[in-house]
Amino acid sequence: MRVIYLLIILLISLQSYSIYAQQNHPLAKLWGINDTEVLEWLDAEKYLIMIDGILNLILKQDNFISGFGGTYIDIFANWLVVNTVDDSKIGELLALTQINPYKESLHFEIVTNSMNKLNDYFRTIKLIADNYKPRGALIYPDMGFNNIVIYFFDSHINNTEFINAVEPFNPKIIYADNLIHKI
Ligand X SMILES: *[C@@H]1O[C@H](CO)[C@@H](O)[C@H](O)[C@H]1NC(C)=O
Binding site for ligand X (CB under 6 A): 33-34, 158, 160-161
Of 175, 165, 176, nearest to 133 by C-alpha is: 165
Residue 156 CB, nearest distance to ligand X (Å)? 9
Q: Which helix (H) or strand (E) holds 150?
A: strand 147-152
Q: Which is nearer to ligand X, 145 or 175 (CB)?
A: 175
Q: Given its phi and psi angles, is residue 78 left (phi above 0), alpha (psi -120 to 50 degrees) or beta?
A: left
- To the nearest whole angstrom, how small is the minimum distance from the Cβ of residue 41 to ligand X? 11
Q: Which is nearer to ligand X, 91 or 156 (CB)?
A: 156
Cβ of residue 40: shortest distance to ligand X, in angstroms?
11
User: Of 116, 49, 48, 53, whose CA–CA distance to 85 is shortest?
Assistant: 116
Q: Which is nearer to ligand X, 30 or 65 (CB)?
A: 30
Which phi and psi angles does 168 have, rounded to 5°? -55, -20
Q: How far is the CB of 179 from ligand X (least distance, A)?
A: 20
Name which of 103 and 133 has its Cβ closer to ligand X: 133
Give just the sign of the alpha carbon dihedral 142, 145, 146, 149. Answer: negative
